[in-house]
Amino acid sequence: MAQDREIVVETRRLTKIYRDFWGRQKKVALRALNLQIYRGEIFGLLGPNGSGKTTTIKLLLGLLFATDGDALVFGQHAGDVTKNERIGYLPEESYLYRFLNAEETLDFYGRLFKLDPEVRRDRAQKLIETVGLARDKKRILKEYSKGMRQRIGFAQALINTPNSSFSTSRRRASTLSARAG
């Protein structure tokens, strides 16, 4: 049955070795990972700190380059960042501009995805409602609690209606999946 479904993420012997300034091996973060994730699956990487979970996500997003092996996302090489238009990424620590409010934040990220202005406005309003920030949408993010910043981070990860979502936080990923579904 799994052979009939589309593979959205595939790695073959994916390896990442961090090196020091002189190019000497410092840390093997990921060793020969073979993985297939099919459309519609919810998949988690579990392991202790330093076991390569975040490194794997960054390799899949093209934020890092593999030392060896291959990584494909939607059939495209992970280094091809055009595939990222189809991905919602929610890092453990969101990189949000604290001087913007919720609407401005989502408008900014919608512009990065070249969304039509009307689509941006509509999608932003729906996402702000979905994450429960309608009453606070005009407040700047600097005034938000940590939980509120995490919720606007969820909305930011979904502004482009992604085909797939990646998160580096177990709790945030489960919430992202529940809200996206």
Cα–Cα–Cα angle for 160, 161, 166, nearest 5°? Answer: 90
Split into its structural domains, the chain has a count of 2
Q: Which of 35, 53, 79 is the last residue of a domain?
A: 79
pLDDT in tens, the chain (181 residues): 445 689 999 999 999 999 988 988 899 999 999 999 998 888 888 888 888 998 999 999 999 999 999 999 999 999 998 898 888 887 777 778 999 999 999 999 999 999 999 999 999 999 999 999 999 999 999 999 988 998 999 999 999 887 777 766 655 444 444 444 4
pLDDT of residue 180: 42
pLDDT of residue 18: 93
If asked whether residues 96 and 156 sit together in one domain, one would say: yes
Produce one character per residue of 123-149: b if its CB has 16 or more CB atoms within 10 Å, e if not: bbeebbeebebeebbeeebeebeeebb
If asked whether residues 123 and 54 sit together in one domain, one would say: no
Under 8 Å CB-to-CB from 13, ≥6 apart: which residues? 32, 33, 34, 68, 69, 70
pLDDT of residue 164: 75
| pTM (two decimals) | 0.71
If asked whether residues 124 and 165 sit together in one domain, one would say: yes
If asked whether residues 12 and 57 sit together in one domain, one would say: yes
Residue-number span of the structural domain to which 95 is assigned: 90-180
Which CATH number goes with the domain that contains 155? 3.40.50.300
pLDDT of residue 92: 74
